[in-house]
Chain A
Amino acid sequence: MSEHAIDSHHGAPQSKGIVSFLARWLFTTNHKDIGTLYLWLSFIMFFVGGAMALVIRLELFQPGLQFVDPNYYNMMVTMHGLVMVFGVVMPAFVGFANWQVPLMIGAPDMALPRLNNWSFWILPFAISLLSSTMFMQGGGPNFGWTMYAPLSTKYAPPSTDFMIFSIHLLGLSSIMGAINIIATILNLRAPGMTLMKMPMFVWTWLITAFLLLAVIPVFAGAITMMLFDRNFGTSFFNAAGGGDPVLYQHIFWFFGHPEVYILILPAFGVISQVIPTFARKRLFGYHFMVYATASIAFLSFIVWAHHMFTTGLVLSASLFFMYMTMLIAVPTGVKVFNWVSTMFRGAMTFETPMLFAIAFVFLFTIGGFSGLMLAIVPADYQYQDTYFVVAHFHYVLVSGAIYALMSGVYYWFPKWSGRWYNETLGKWHFWLTVISTNITFFPMHFMGLAGMPRRIPDYALQFTDFNMIATVGAFIFGFAQLIMLYNIVASLRKPKTVDDQVWEGARGLEWTVSSPPPYHSFTKPPVANFDDMI
C-alpha cells in the first residue's frame, strides 16, 4: 500500500493582495502552478484560434467575398494554424506533463524547476509578438502555417521577421520543456518504478520529448534560413542563387511530420490512462503499446516527403515514402486494437472523460483511414492541397488531440482542484462537440474529392451546400466550448469535496495523494507496487 506523501499541507506561498498574487505566478517554480499556467494559456488561445477559424468559416459560408479581403483571409488561415499548433495543443500537453508527470512517477517536482518557469513565461511574450504581426504594416503572415518559400521569403510582408523571432522563442520553450521532461522521467522516478512500469502517459511524453529535441532545432534551422534569405542575401530557397524552394519543404517537413506526432503521442497517452479507468480493466498490451509508440516515433522521421508528392519527386523517392507512410498504420492500428481490447469485457461507465476517449477512438481512426488514403501517391495527386487533406488533419487533431485534451481535463480536473465539474454540463459539452465536429469536418472529405482546393476564400458553386453545413457546424462547435469554460470556472468556486481516489477504476500514484494534492507532494519518494498501477 502506498504511503501518502508526508508533508505539511501548506498551500502556495501567497499572501493577500495583488502583488503577492502576481509574484506567486510570475516566479513560481512549482510544477502544479506551471501546469496550471500552461493550461489556462492554451485554453485562452483555444478561443483565439477558434475565433480565427470562425472568421474563415464565416467567409466560406457562401461563395463570393462578403466579410474579409483575400489577404486578410490568408492571414486568418495562417494564424489559425500557428495558434492552434503552437499556442494551444503543444502548451496544453506540456501543461498536462507538468501536472501529471511528477505525480505519476512519485517525484516532488520537475528536474529543473526554474527552467520550467522560463519555459512557460517565454510563451505569452512569443504569442503576443506573433499576434502583433497582424497589426503591423503589410499585415501578418499570410502564407499558411507551412510557410513555403519563396512566398514566405521574397514575397512575404515585413512582419515575417517578427514572426520568425516569435517562432524561435516558441521553439526554445519547447526544447527547454523537452529537456526538463527527459531529465525528470529518466532521473526522478520513484524507486522500483522501472521504465516498463511507468504509466503510459509518462511513456508517451518521454518519447514525445525526444521527438521535440530532435526536430524543433531543425525547424529553427529552416526559419533561420528563411530569415537569411529575406535579409542577408542568401539563396537557400532561391533558385537564382543556386538554391531550391523545394529544399525548404524538405527541411520543414522533416520537422513537420514528427511535429504532428508530437501533437498526438501525448493524446495517445491520455487515452491510455482514461479507458482503463472507466473500463475498470488494465490497459491491454502495455508492452506492445510502448513498442508501438516508439515505432511510430521512429517511423515519423522517414515519411516527411508524403507532404510533397506533387513537387516532382523521382519515382524511387515517391515509392519509399509511400511505403513508409503506409507502414505507420501498423503500430497505430495496434494501439487502436489495444484500446478496444481494454474496453472489451470490461465494466464500463460513461462519465465525460470516457465519452471523449471513446469518441477519440472512433474519430481518430477515421482520420487515420483518410491518412492511409493520402499515403497512396497516385491518389494523392487528386487529394493534395484539397479539402480532403483539411478533413484528414482536423479529424486527427480535433477529434484526436483536442478530444484527448478535453478527456484529460475532465479526468484530472477533480484531482487538480479538489472539486467536481458538473457532469450534466460535461455531457452537454461532449455531445454538442462531437456532433458539431462531424457536421463541420465530415463534409470536407466530399468537398476535397469533388475538387475544392485549400486556402481559398471563395469557391465554385458546386461546393456551396457542404460549405454551408461546415460553417454551421463550426459555429455550434465554437459556442459549445463555452460550456466547458463555464463548467470549469463555476466548478472552481465550489467547495473541495473530492476524495483521493476520485474515480473507482483509477490506478496510479496521482490517485494516492489528496485532491487537490499538497503544494509540495512526494517530498519523500513513495513506496508502492507499481505492477498494479499500469
Chain B
Amino acid sequence: MQALIKRWIISGLLLITQVANATPESRFNMPRGVTPISNAIYDLHMAIFWICVAIGVIVFSVMIYSLINHRKSLGVKPATFHESVKVEILWAIVPFFILVVMAIPATRVLIHMEDTKQADVTIKVTGYQWKWQYEYLDEGISFYSSLATPIEEIHNKAKKNEHYLLDVDHEMVVPVGKKVRLLVTANDVIHSWWVPQLGIKRDAIPGFIHESWMRISKAGVYRGQCAELCGINHGYMPIVVRAVSEKDYEAWVKKERDDITAAEALATKTFSAKELMEKGKSVYENVCAVCHQINGLGILPVYPAIKGSSVSVGKPHSRHIDIILHGRNAMPAFGAQLNDFEIAAVVTYERNAFDNNTGDVIQPSEVKARRNVKPNVNQKTAKKKPINHHHHHHAS
C-alpha cells in the first residue's frame, strides 16, 4: 500500500514537472513572455508554485498516512494528546519564515517594475465599449482597434479561424528593444489592458491615467484581451501588439500617416454604386453586425433592425448619416472611428441590402458636409446636437 502511494506521489510530481515546463503556447501554464517584466513574473510564479507544492506534499503525505493507518477498523485505539504549545509555535514560525523568503523576490520584482527611465515611444491606450484606441503621442497617429473576427464565426455559421476572438482590424505596432510607455485610460466604464506575453495588465479607469511600460525583446505578434467586465461585449475587445524591427516600425508610422492623408482625400472622390456596396458590406460586417446582426434584423428590443427600418428606408437619408456620425441613444458615435468614405459606403449598403432597395447612393462628400451642419437624429430627449465633428486623426 505504501509503495503504491509512493508511486502515485512520484507520478504526480512528474506530471507537474512536465506541465510546468510546457511551451510558451502552453495550455497549462503562464507564458514566459518577451519582456523583462513578464520573465520576472514567470520566475516568481514558478518559485511560489514549487514552494506550495512542497508544503502540500508534506501536509498531504501526513494526512494520507494517517488516513491509512489510524483507522478504527484496524483496531487502533485513539491517542489522547490534544495540545502542544511548542508545536503550535513551531508551525506558526516556520511558515512565517517561508513567507518572508517568498516576499523578498516579490518585493524586488515589484520595485523594478517602477522603472522611470525615459521612454522611446509613448502610446496612450483608451478603452471603449467595446474596442481600444491607440494614440501614438510622438508620431501624431491615432486609430481604433476592434475585433476582426467575422461575426459568422461567433454565431457558428463559419469555421473558427486560428486566432478566433484574438484578431483586430488595426494592430498596435511597436519597435523591438525600445522602451514603450503606455498611458492607460478609459472612455466610459472600467476596462483592463492585458497582454500575457508582455506581462502587462493595467486597469483603464475613466477620468484617470495610469502608466506601464514594456521593452519587447523578440519580434512577433502578441495577443491579449480586456480583463475587466465592461458590458455586453467584454469578451469581444481583444488586443494585438506586433513588435517589429525599428526600421519596419518607422516604415509603419509613415504608412499610417499616409493612410490618414489618403482617407481624407477620399472625401472628394466619387465612387460607383458597386464600389460603395462592396466597401459598405465590409464595414457593416466588421463594425455594425456585432449589434445589428449579419442579417440586419438586430436583437430586439436592444438593437434595432436595419432591415425595413424607418431610418434605413425613410427620408431624408441625411438622418441615417447623422445617426452614424453622432450616435443615438445607446448607439455610440462612429464619426471619429469611420472616415467619410466608410460611412458613405455603409449607409449605401444599409439602404440597399436586406431587401431595403432604396436605390440611394451616398458619396463621401455628402458625409463630410453633414459633419458641419446641425444633425437630425430624432432623439427622444434633447441631447447634444453636434454641428461640427472632427476626425479623430488630428495632427500633433
- 8 A Cβ contacts from B330-348 to A: none
Are B205's CB and A311's CB within 8 A?
yes
> Which residues of chain A come closer than 8 Å to B194, judged between CB atoms?
385, 453
Are A310's CB and B80's CB within 8 A?
no
A140 vs B335: C-alpha distance in the bound complex, in angstroms?
31
Check if B109 is an interface residue, CB within 8 A of chain A.
Answer: yes
- 8 A Cβ contacts from A244-289 to B: 244-246, 279-288
Provided the pairs A151-B231, A284-B82, A450-B29 are in contact, do residues A361 and B63 lie with their beta carbons within 8 angstroms? yes
Are A333's CB and B206's CB within 8 A?
no
Q: B202 → chain A, closest Cβ, in Å? A: 6
Are A457's CB and B109's CB within 8 A?
no
Check if B299 is an interface residue, CB within 8 A of chain A.
Answer: yes
A239 vs B204: C-alpha distance in the bound complex, in angstroms?
13
A51 vs B384: C-alpha distance in the bound complex, in angstroms?
44
Check if B385 is an interface residue, CB within 8 A of chain A.
Answer: no
Provided the pairs A246-B208, A458-B165 are in contact, do residues A347 and B80 lie with their beta carbons within 8 angstroms? no
Check if B251 is an interface residue, CB within 8 A of chain A.
Answer: no
> Which residues of chain B come closer than 8 Å to A460, judged between CB atoms?
163-166, 223
Residue of A with least CB distance to B74: A347
Are A279's CB and B103's CB within 8 A?
no
Q: Which of B150-158, B307-315, B363-371 touches A?
A: B150-158
A276 vs B133: C-alpha distance in the bound complex, in angstroms?
60
> Which residues of chain A come closer than 8 Å to B41, judged between CB atoms?
378-379, 381-382
Are A281's CB and B189's CB within 8 A?
no
A492 vs B72: C-alpha distance in the bound complex, in angstroms?
30
0/1 string, A362-391, CB within 8 A of B gives 1 = 100110010011001111011011100000
Residue of B with least CB distance to A280: B78
- 8 A Cβ contacts from A274-325 to B: 279-288, 310-312, 315, 318-319, 322-323
Check if A490 is an interface residue, CB within 8 A of chain B.
Answer: no
Residue of B with least CB distance to A288: B88
> Which residues of chain A come closer than 8 Å to B114, judged between CB atoms?
315
> Which residues of chain B come closer than 8 Å to A63, judged between CB atoms?
160, 164-165
Check if A336 is an interface residue, CB within 8 A of chain B.
Answer: yes
Check if A479 is an interface residue, CB within 8 A of chain B.
Answer: no
- 8 A Cβ contacts from A123-162 to B: 142-144, 148, 150-151, 154-155
A283 vs B60: C-alpha distance in the bound complex, in angstroms?
19
Check if B270 is an interface residue, CB within 8 A of chain A.
Answer: no
Are A312's CB and B202's CB within 8 A?
yes
Residue of A with least CB distance to B330: A155
A346 vs B67: C-alpha distance in the bound complex, in angstroms?
9
Are B155's CB and A64's CB within 8 A?
yes
Check if B173 is an interface residue, CB within 8 A of chain A.
Answer: no
Check if A44 is an interface residue, CB within 8 A of chain B.
Answer: no
- 8 A Cβ contacts from B54-84 to A: 55-56, 59-60, 62-63, 66-67, 70-73, 76-84
Are B302's CB and A71's CB within 8 A?
yes
Check if A498 is an interface residue, CB within 8 A of chain B.
Answer: no
> Which residues of chain A come closer than 8 Å to B231, judged between CB atoms?
74, 142, 151, 155
Are B106's CB and A372's CB within 8 A?
no
Check if B387 is an interface residue, CB within 8 A of chain A.
Answer: no
> Which residues of chain A come closer than 8 Å to B224, judged between CB atoms?
451
Provided the pairs A378-B110, A458-B235, A461-B160 are in contact, do residues A150 and B45 lie with their beta carbons within 8 angstroms? no
Given contacts A337-B59, A348-B67, 17 further A-B contacts (CB under 8 A): A64-B153, A74-B232, A150-B190, A246-B208, A282-B80, A285-B87, A312-B208, A334-B91, A343-B70, A347-B78, A369-B52, A373-B45, A378-B110, A379-B48, A449-B26, A453-B235, A460-B166
Cβ-closest 10 pairs across A and B = A239-B207, A456-B235, A312-B210, A282-B82, A345-B79, A369-B52, A347-B72, A347-B78, A385-B227, A280-B78
